[in-house]
Amino acid sequence: MLYSAPLRDLLLELAVADVYRARWSADIHREWMNALLRKKPHRTRAALERTRELMNRAVLDAQVTGYERIIRHLELPDANDRHVLAAAIVGGCDVILTMNIRHFPAKALADHGITAELPDAFLARAFDHTGPSFLASAARVRQRLLKPPVGIDAYLETLAAHGLEATAAKLKAYSGQL
């Protein structure tokens, strides 16, 4: 889920603005960085490590540690996803944001008081609850896109292309503030 730069940038800015509490682990970082390097080999590990470091500095309490001891006790359809649930449990999360909902069935998460949700649904709901803060965060993200500058419509199209259709639609209604 942190693989997509537009999604990652928006989620990070929203966390910095205290719209929600972001949590991740070293394993989650490793997973998104490895996936990105496989799909886009022109990217460098050094650049991604810099992004990871900037994320950790921007949201000081986001890094979850001490989850490794419970990984082996968890059951999910894909054993490779257990570290995500373990970090969510130890990090006190209510929601796991994922593009792979089927990897986190409700039955496996319910005992831990956690649900899995698509980022678009989560962000659309966050917009409904925190409109002005959300808008200001989205505007800051868009305004940082300088090489080349990205117009409002292009930014909203990019969000939609990265799976944030509902979020982009909500933002479009307030495009004058972006």
Provide the residue ranges of all domains of the chain, joining segments of one domain with +. 20-118, 121-177
User: b/e map of 22-59 (b: 16 or more CB within 10 Å)?
Assistant: bbbbbbbbebbbeebeeeeeeeeeeebeebbeebeeeb
pLDDT, one tens digit per residue, over 43-93 is 999 999 999 999 999 999 999 999 999 999 999 999 999 999 999 999 999
pLDDT, one tens digit per residue, over 88-121 is 999 999 999 999 999 999 999 999 999 999 999 9
Cβ neighbours of residue 138 closer than 8 Å, sequence gap 6 or more: 10, 13, 171, 178
* Alpha-carbon torsion, ordered 53, 65, 17, 112, to 10 deg: 140
Six-digit token string for 29:
């970082």
Cβ neighbours of residue 172 closer than 8 Å, sequence gap 6 or more: 156
Longest dimension (CA), the chain: 50
Cβ neighbours of residue 45 closer than 8 Å, sequence gap 6 or more: 33, 37
